[in-house]
Amino acid sequence: MSDPNAKYQSPLTSRYASAEMAANFSNNKRFGTWRRLWLRLAQAEQRLGIPGISDEALAQMEANLDNIDYDVAAAEEKRRRHDVMAHVHAFGLAAPQAAGIIHLGATSCFVTDNADLIIFRDAMDLLIEKLVVVVDSLAAFAREQRAQPTLGFTHFQPAQLTTVGKRACLWVQELLWDLRNMQRARDDLGFRGVKGTTGTQASFLALFEGQHDKVEELDALVAQLSGFAGKSYPVCGQTYSRKVDVDFVAALASFGATAHRIATDIRLLANLKELEEPFEKDQIGSSAMAYKRNPMRSERICSLARHLMVLVGDVLQTASVQWLERSLDDSANRRISIPEACLTADIVLATLQNVVEGLVVYPQVIARRIRSELPFMAPENFIMAMVRKGGDRQECHEQIRVLSHEAAAVVKQQGGDNDLIERVRRCAYFAPIRDDLDALLDPATFIGRAPEQVDRFLRDFVEPALAPYARVIARKKPAELSV
């Protein structure tokens, strides 16, 4: 046996991906699905009266769905330069009574395309469940932090206050859109069905001696047996339209953008020491700087999300260059781009779940930063309070302007602390509100309706969106990362 460490292995499967997603794109799944499609085709053809398909042939096929001799298939493919015919040959050796009727009337895309659609649907089912868990966990975090004041940032410059929970809701909202997109992409997947070499079903029409109704019945029956009842594409060329792949991967790429945005926000907040991803007891942040607590999980999300986002370019270009009924320059690209999109999304979701379920908030650090910036935000409250007590808005604004510039000079030119509040306390003009200053400086008075917005968003939008997935949430488990 060759040493697996002596040749390149994709980190997507060797290092990161879940066992279930890796298995979904394995040779066993792919070629096992081919054999199941051949069996369903033969079963449907027998049921509709095609002669020469015996019960024994079907029984042998069913008994050898997963008994795949890869050495035989590889040798035959090397000789024939055709992977489908190589596996027809290998299946025929395993089920000799069926050797003459395997692939009857079909073209290669009967197994390759239909199997891909089955595998893609199964992959999206896995991804949707994982996304639901992430949304549920992040919504719980938003609920817990609904009223925790924190400094808002626009242009990554200090802005008006928000809450930690409200900021998390911004993330959840985008994930809900991703859930909608991924569910729609999954539900929109159809079945190529039995369409023949250029999509005209000519071979099947000949097989049924010109009986058009039998051909349509065969197409519908094979789709039903394959779990796509009523969802066979009405027309296609040799392949199903590669526009389907665009819709599928675009939903994943869009999720990649969301994940990158969330992970970037966490990295920025980690730099401010306001929020951190989980950091394990024996984890090492740097081989040289022992004190470091690098946000490596969030960085990994960003790294892989970039790869996920660009993969949609592959399927877009492939869809755009499919000549007439089909050209084969799609095949090698699709073998890489679409599985990698699913594998990468799987890894990003697992890592994101691990991060959001272990987020650590540091309220005292947040409070300190608020105190340092609040003097520049409080004057509007001071002005409103003065006006309520009979003051002139324009005169009050001028007083604040002068005091603010004096305080700014202390900060910028002398390196001192912002003493604007003390200057306001000492200013005779503001004597009418002097006793109200502490209340006017309460951070909770600067967060507007953020807590109420969190409550309404979770109640009216998140909970209804997650309701169809209650069983998924009930059985959710923590995401454990091996690296």
Angle at 347 between CA 352 and CA 184, to 5 degrees: 85
**Residue partners of 463: CB distance under 8 A and separation at least 6:** none
**Residue partners of 395: CB distance under 8 A and separation at least 6:** none
**Residue partners of 381: CB distance under 8 A and separation at least 6:** 440, 441, 445, 446
Is residue 87 annotated as a catalytic residue, yes or no? no
Closest by CA position to 103, among listed 68, 145, 53: 53
List 14, 82, 212, 286, catalytic entry: 286
**Residue partners of 69: CB distance under 8 A and separation at least 6:** 90, 93, 94
Angle of the 83-94 helix axis to the 27-47 helix axis, nearest 10:
70
Closest by CA position to 359, among listed 301, 292, 298: 298
**Alpha-carbon distance 394 to 50, whole Å?**
92
Contact 348, 17 (CB under 8 A): no
- As given in the structure block, the two tokens for residue 360 are 């650590």
List 2, 155, 287, 482, catalytic entry: 155
Tokens 């991967």, located at residue: 249
DSSP string for residues in 129-148: HHHHHHHHHHHHHHHHTTT-
DSSP string for residues in 341-372: HHHHHHHHHHHHHHHHTT-EE-HHHHHHHHHH
Tokens 């042998």, located at residue: 60
Contact 243, 333 (CB under 8 A): no
Amino acid letter for position 258: T
Is residue 286 annotated as a catalytic residue, yes or no? yes
Q: Which residues are catalytic, by number?
A: 155, 286
